[in-house]
């Protein structure tokens, strides 16, 4: 089962027909398995990796460390929910170590991000402090290196 998930994680464009041939299975079975994964929330979506730095899109991303006071019974979940529901928030992780939540957010300008932190994140009840780190460059994401397109330079040797 993990084979199919790993294949799709690596290339979500693979069709059920392709996966079936690669794994000696019936296409219908693969289709059903993928539908089950989706229904169970194991597969949550299919996205595309884009290096926006190669386009003219203006954007900035930041990693924000947040310290919070955990609430009785609900731990960090309630605060986390308040934060992840903002569409600006790309990722949110509960962390061990010197702070509690790591938020990855994207905005059009640094000002916009700073504004978001000051107006939306910091005022949330139980948030004790925030520290904003702007991303200067993305080198690698989801296992993919962000750089020049890779050319096939292998020589034909015979």
User: How far apart are alpha carbons 120 and 6 in whole angstroms?
Assistant: 37
User: How far apart are alpha carbons 130 and 115 in whole angstroms?
Assistant: 13
Nearer to other proteins, 29 or 112 (CB): 29
Q: Contact 105/65 with Cβ under 8 angstroms?
A: no
Nearer to other proteins, 49 or 157 (CB): 157
**Does 27 interact with other proteins (rule: CB under 8 A)?**
no
User: How far apart are alpha carbons 16 and 27 in whole angstroms?
Assistant: 6
Only one of the segments 30-38, 80-88, 115-123, 147-155 lies at the binding site for other proteins (rule: CB under 8 A); that segment is 147-155
Shortest distance, position 156 Cβ to other proteins, whole Å: 4
**Does 156 interact with other proteins (rule: CB under 8 A)?**
yes
Of 1, 13, 85, 87, the one binding other proteins by CB under 8 A: 13
Residue 100's alpha-carbon distances to 40, 62, 64, in angstroms, are 28, 16, 10
Q: Which residues lie near other proteins (CB under 8 A)?
A: 7, 11, 13-14, 18, 21-24, 152, 154-158
């Amino acid at each position: 089962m993990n084979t199919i998930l790993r294949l799709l994680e690596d290339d979500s464009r693979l069709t059920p027909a392709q996966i079936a041939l690669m794994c000696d299975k019936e296409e219908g079975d693969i289709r059903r398995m993928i539908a089950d994964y989706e229904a169970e929330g194991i597969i949550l979506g299919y996205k595309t990796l884009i290096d926006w730095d190669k386009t003219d899109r203006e954007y900035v991303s930041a990693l924000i460390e947040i310290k919070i006071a955990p609430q009785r019974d609900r731990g960090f979940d309630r605060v986390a929910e308040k934060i992840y529901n903002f569409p600006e928030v790309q990722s949110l992780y509960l962390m061990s170590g010197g702070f509690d939540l790591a938020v990855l957010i994207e905005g059009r300008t640094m000002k916009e991000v700073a504004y978001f932190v000051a107006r939306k994140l910091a005022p949330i009840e139980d948030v004790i402090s925030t520290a904003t780190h702007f991303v200067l460059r993305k080198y690698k994401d989801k296992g993919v290196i962000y750089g020049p397109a890779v050319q096939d330079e292998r020589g034909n040797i015979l």
